[in-house]
Chain A
Amino acid sequence: MSDVFGRTPMRMSRRKVFGISIAASSALALASCSDDGGSEVDIDKQSKGAMDDFAADTQFTATEPFTLSLLWTEWPEVPVKDSWTFFDEIEKRTNVKFELTTIPFSDATEKRSLLISAGDAPTVIPLIYTGDETSFVSSGAILPISDYVEHMPNFQKYVEEWDLTDMVDNLKQADGKYYMLPGLQEVSVPVFTLVIRKDVFESVAGGIPQTWDEMRDALVKIKEEYPDSKPLADGFEAQSLLNYASHAWGARAGWGFGNGMVDDGSGNLEYTAVTEGYRQMVEFFRGLVADGLVDTDSLTAANDGSGGGSVAEKFAAETVFAASGSAGTAIEFAQALNETVGEGNYEVLQIAPPGGPAGQVVEPRNFWNGFMLNSEVADSENFLATLQFLDWLYYNPEARELIRWGVLDETYTKDADGTITLKPEYSLNAYNINPDAETDIQEDLGWSNAVFADSTESRELKESYNTDTFVAYIDSVLSTRTPRDPYPPAPLDELELERSSLLATPLKDTVDTNTLRFVMGERDIAEWDDYVAELEAQGLADYVDLMNGARDRFEENS
């Protein structure tokens, strides 16, 4: 008793403090208002170390060496080791030395917020996904990088070449500038989609479903063949399934819910969760659940990171035949099946997300993680050189290949038609390449590290390290699906941002809870109008007006 009592005060305050930290971080970002970014920058005078003739697809080498501070997220299974050649090789080629601020992956976003809020962030802040930057914009702690992209020829070249100009425009905040540069992907393929037992689908259901209706028929047939099964599952609290499925109904849901706004067809925005398409989607999955085709346990089980609800186990036990996942999940399922069904007796395949009433569309995913810069870099004498270096590191094809594979002819070889082969003495265990080799290029040498390697990829580079089945998946998506149009941007200013988060958070909670309740059959679908009324009572109209106001302003300004 005394033990518990004695420690309670400390423990409580720690937990409380932690909770506050997340909430406070964005608000307190104001604390660091050293906002002078942009106004007095004279890029010609801040060009120490910069190359005069830096251009797209050329090697960047600083004319004078300099050090660049970098926020480094440390994954527990891939800690930085003394044996890493990654940093040395980058320094050798570019004269730029990284100085790391290490943050553990477990709490990386919180620590990142704290560092930025306290004005203590390193110059380069990688692993930024679109939208991550929004809360820092008003503080002035982040550099409006759009002012300086003219000095980044690789970025410009590949935005142009891969036809991403419109999407880059959508990064703009209320002030018409953008504050992060994303990693660019030549091909747009959803990372998460359905992973299926191909052999079962072909033998029992007669092929791979292309639409959700076909999927339903297939699931029914599989259920007849395997009466104990509940063939469809999602180990990500239904967030992943709803995300890639929603596009088939012209809605957005799950992970992709975002601000909840979709085009209403006339150029204005409407709230997706009250649209007809969203309702149809909910009814479709409700029907699947009612017929016992969905493993409902998996939809509600907490996600432990690998996909909760022990979906891999169920895949192995042949009670689930289709589940959400990435290429990594597919490998996990295959490993589990090896134990039960046996190697060679099954085929696991990632398929293109099925289409629906809105067509054979998928989420455009040409942006992946990129970076932001601490606004203090605008005062640095190495400012121009820093921009050139990051342009090279993030967008130069040679740099991308280096980061993925290591040093040409040392760790890998490339033949005349561009096929990359890892040398037999090296492995890349994360992708199951040469698993028996002694030195792992990721764990032991630092190549393919998750901080930089996934960001920008040409199609060729992406296909070079992925399995044949993933390459087939890329092909099937590109040949049979079209990316949906980007949502109309509606960037909010500082006050609107605050108001919108006050309105949007309870709305989204209501949507999330009730979507799942409707799907699981816990709430009668006849109560749909009541649900809409509940949203309206929570200020839906105000929120939609707010977003449309921002939308109109964006239209006028651009």
Chain B
Amino acid sequence: MRVFRAANAAALVLLCAVMLYPFITVLAQSFSSAGAIKAGQVNVWPVGFNVDTYTAVMSNGMFWRNYGNTVLYTVVGTAIAMTLTTTYAYVLSKRHLKGRNALIGIAVFTMFFNGGIVPNYVLISSLGMKNTMWAIVLPNAISVFNLLVMKSFFENLPKDLEEAAQIDGLGWYGIFARIVLPLSKAVIATMVLFYSVQYWNDWFAAFLYLDKSELFPVTLFLRNLIAGASTSASEGAAAAGTTTALVSTNIQAVTMILTVIPILCIYPFVQRYFVSGVMLGSIKG
């Protein structure tokens, strides 16, 4: 048993190191000089320590503008997604609801089939949502996976509570708002985390539907910075990547660090709801 524990601990520490190493390297790079990075000297400790790169990136107006956009899209997107997901899931959790299977079917259908990129693009532009925040926050507002987790969570709430509330004179909306939601903090916290991470990290919807750099989220800014010249499959593309000065690695590192910090900070606060949130929904009585 002791041997097993020791081996287990060793394996976990190793795994932890493997996970942390890239983070630490990027962090070290962000404080290092461009020359030292190019010479391959930076590993886990900054070489040529400086904060100039941070100053430079932070003084970039477009970076902050895009950062602000990301915050806005995340907050609005998560709020919309949570409203729609909780209400939809609550309705689906009522077994006596007529047409419940059809409603579930509609949701599940979208897990397996979608219209494809170009039709979706045409749809969004004909709805007039192109180059607006709505193109980012509306199309994927309900994640079916989250919806189903939440649905089974609601199904497991004791019916007696709702019946008692009904007897005391509450309507369905009242029950939902005053009884069900306060009892669902764990799952709500988990879903908020899922959704906000999704919106925070998302660059693809913005890439598709936004044509103005002042509307871009910071992830798109970051992607342009990092993925820039990695696709030189032809002489033309390679030349395009080399004729202009390349973005140096320390700028990429700083942008990465600044982008990932806020979403990283959310984790500790919702962690305690985390396992219980998902597990509660999945065990059926």
Contacts and interface: CB of A to CB of B under 8 A. Distances in A.
Given A10-B145, A305-B246, A114 B40 contact: no
Given A117-B118, A303-B232, A305-B246, A79 B62 contact: yes
Interface stretch (A20-28, A58-66, A386-394, A410-418): A20-28
Given A7-B194, A106-B223, A25 B241 contact: no
Interface residues of B, number: 62
A339 B35 contact: yes
A101 B236 contact: no
A9 B279 CA distance: 18
Nearest to A27: B118
A339 B118 contact: no
Given A76-B224, A77-B245, A120-B125, 10 more contacts: A6-B149, A109-B231, A111-B208, A118-B118, A120-B122, A127-B240, A129-B234, A192-B238, A326-B239, A339-B35
Given A6-B278, A106-B224, A77 B244 contact: yes
Interface of B: 35, 38-40, 62, 111, 114, 116-119, 121-122, 125, 140, 143-146, 149, 190, 194, 197-198, 202, 204, 207-208, 211-213, 216, 220-221, 223-236, 238-247, 274-275, 278-279
A78 B244 contact: yes
B230 A104 contact: no
10 contacts: A3-B274, A13-B114, A17-B117, A77-B245, A101-B211, A111-B207, A303-B232, A316-B39, A326-B242, A454-B243
Given A74-B213, A329-B242, A450-B243, A25 B40 contact: no
Contacts of A441: none
Contacts of A510: none
Nearest to A431: B243
A255 B35 CA distance: 30
A429 interface: yes
Interface in A367-415: 368-369
A447 interface: no
User: What are the 9 closest A-B residue pairs judged by CB atoms, nearest first?
Assistant: A305-B229, A104-B224, A328-B242, A106-B227, A129-B236, A2-B278, A101-B211, A76-B225, A305-B241
B90 to A, nearest CB: 20
A403 to B, nearest CB: 14
A95 interface: no
A526 to B, nearest CB: 32
A73 to B, nearest CB: 8
A85 interface: no
B121 A114 contact: yes
The bracket for how many chain A residues form the interface is: 35 or more
Contacts of A106: 223-224, 226-228, 230-231
A430 B243 contact: yes
Given A78-B244, A107-B207, A303 B230 contact: yes
Nearest to A31: B118
B224 A80 contact: no
B188 to A, nearest CB: 14
B238 A80 contact: no
A105 B243 contact: no
A107 B242 CA distance: 16
A104 B224 CA distance: 6
Contact of A306 (B224, B236, B241): B241
Q: For B197, B231, B238, which residue has the most chain A Cβ atoms within 10 angstroms?
A: B238
B224 A118 contact: no
Nearest to B224: A104
A316 to B, nearest CB: 8
A3 B220 CA distance: 24
A2 B149 CA distance: 12
Contacts of B246: 77, 305-306
Nearest to A107: B207
Contacts of B232: 236, 303, 305
Given A74-B224, A339-B39, A192 B235 contact: yes
Contact of A2 (B38, B240, B274): B274
Contacts of B197: 7
A313 interface: yes
A348 interface: no
A161 interface: no
Interface in A151-189: none
A524 to B, nearest CB: 29
B209 to A, nearest CB: 10
Contacts of B278: 2, 6
Interface string A309-337: 01011001000000001111100000010
Given A7-B194, A14-B204, A75-B244, A313 B224 contact: no
B228 A20 contact: no
A102 interface: yes
A305 B239 CA distance: 9
A547 B213 CA distance: 43
A151 to B, nearest CB: 27
A301 to B, nearest CB: 13
Contacts of A127: 240
A44 interface: no
Contacts of A148: none
Contacts of A76: 221, 224-225, 228, 247
Contacts of A118: 118, 121-122, 125
A105 B224 contact: yes
Q: For B208, B227, B242, which residue has the most chain A Cβ atoms within 10 angstroms?
A: B242
A313 B37 CA distance: 11
Nearest to B220: A104
Interface in A439-480: 450, 454
A396 to B, nearest CB: 22
Contacts of A336: 38
A304 interface: yes
A120 B238 CA distance: 27
Contacts of A102: 211-213
Interface string A113-125: 0100111100000
A10 B235 contact: no
A18 B236 contact: no
A240 interface: yes
B273 to A, nearest CB: 11
A243 B235 contact: yes
Contact of B194 (A6, A129, A430, A450): A6
B211 A103 contact: yes
Contacts of A316: 39
Given A76-B224, A118-B125, A339-B35, A306 B117 contact: no
A191 interface: yes
A192 B239 contact: yes
